[in-house]
Amino acid sequence: MFDDKDPEMQRAYQTAQTTFRYFWRELSWERRRIVPGLDLTMVKLPFTDGPRTDGNSDFEHMWIEDIGFDGESVSGTLLNSPNWLTSVSKGDAVSVPFGHLTDWMMTSDGRAYGGFTVNLMRSRMSSRARAEHDQAWGLDFGEPADVQIEIRREPKPKAGFLASLFGKGSRKEVVPEGFRDHPMCVNMIPKIEAQIQADRSTVNYMGDDGWTLLQQEALSGNLGVVKILLAHGADSSARTPNGHTAAELAQKIGWAEIADYINGHTKA
């Protein structure tokens, strides 16, 4: 339980939204892996029955899994059983506007990534209570002030993340400096290039959901693939069923570099 109006909690919500693109990119590659690399992926959203008069909060913040994202709304399956809400139940299919997202978390090899609200609450616990909390989760959250957002299997740079968000210490940036493609994107580029050369119709392939490959890769933050698709004639003006172009999707989730590249290519 926590106070929604707490300024630090509000900042945690905002940081979760700002960094959600890294979660979505990792999840997009996870769905292409033969051997899973993630153990758990979930997003926290607020749910309500409407105004209450029983002393309970109007909103319960609960986790969902099987995450979907269309640039506007986050959808999935409710993981939690509500304490007092009656309009939703564990296992329900739910969808909430992206602007209401309050947290995200993924785990790999027992290490937690994201979890901004969780780490804020951990920062306010005693050492003993924090250890008991982490043991209950069965996860290594690390230090509350050092929230990791990307899974790196190579040595980490000396620059850290946002320490002041969750406790005392020097301010660290939560968003990595400069854009870089996901390692799997870099490794897959030659194969994707070869597939397109073998069958050029794949460039403007549209799935059953009405999305083109360019739209999917732009939202997922894969600049290297976006460049290949555009170089082979992908239609950057195509719109999703919700009416968004690839550049608009990239801009909405926060991949400004990808949006700029698509717009620049279109003008050229």
C-alpha dist (Å) from residue 23 to 63, 217, 239, 253:
15, 14, 24, 11
Residue ranges of domains in the chain, CATH in brackets: 7-137 (no CATH), 183-267 (1.25.40.20)
84/177: higher pLDDT: 84
Q: What is the arithmetic mean of pLDDT over 188-209?
A: 91
- The mean pLDDT of 38-45, rounded to a whole number, is 96
The pLDDT mean for the chain works out to: 90
| Cα–Cα distance for residue pair 219/107, rounded to 1 Å | 22
CA 134 – CA 131 distance, rounded (Å): 5
CA distance 45 to 64: 8
Please tell me which of 44-53, 99-108, 153-162 the model is most confident about, judged by mean pLDDT.
99-108
Extract the tokens encoding 192. Answer: 């994707």
DSSP per-residue letters across 80-106: SPPSS--S--TT-EEEEEGGG--EEEE
Give the residue-averaged pLDDT of 115-139. Answer: 95
The Cα 37–Cα 25 span in angstroms is: 13
Contact 182, 222 (CB under 8 A): yes
Answer whether residue 264 shows pLDDT above 90: yes
CA 241 to chain centroid? 21
pLDDT at 116 over 90: yes
Backbone angles phi, psi at 182, to 5 degrees: -60, 140
- Average pLDDT of span 49-63: 91
24-49 per-residue burial string, b: 16 or more CB within 10 A, e: under 16: bbbbbbbeeeeeeebeebbbbbbbee
User: Do 238 and 266 form a contact (C-beta atoms < 8 A)?
Assistant: no
Q: Are 64 and 78 in contact (CB under 8 A)?
A: yes
Beta strands, E only, the chain? 40-48, 59-69, 73-78, 93-97, 103-108, 111-114
Give the tokens for residue 193.
Answer: 């290039």
Q: Rounded mean pLDDT of 180-194?
A: 94
Structure tokens at 39: 């153990």
Instruction: Write down the pLDDT at residue 127.
Output: 94
Q: What is the average pLDDT across 185-208?
A: 91
Q: CA 102, CA 116: separation in Å to the nearest integer?
A: 9
CA distances from 243 to 125, 167, 206 (A): 45, 41, 15
% of the chain beyond a pLDDT of 90 = 80
Q: Is the pLDDT of residue 165 over 70?
A: no
What's the CA gap between 156 and 171, in Å, rounded? 18
Tell me the pLDDT tens digit for each residue of 6-34: 899 999 999 999 999 999 999 999 999 99
Identify the pLDDT of residue 171. Answer: 35
What pLDDT score does 267 carry?
76
Would you say residue 157 has pLDDT above 70? no
Higher-confidence residue: 5 or 109? Answer: 109
Residue 19 burial (C-beta neighbours within 10 Å; 0-12, 13-18, 19+): buried
pLDDT grade for 5, boundaries at 50, 70 and 90: confident
Contact by Cβ (8 Å): 261, 223: yes
- In this prediction, residue 152 carries a pLDDT of 77
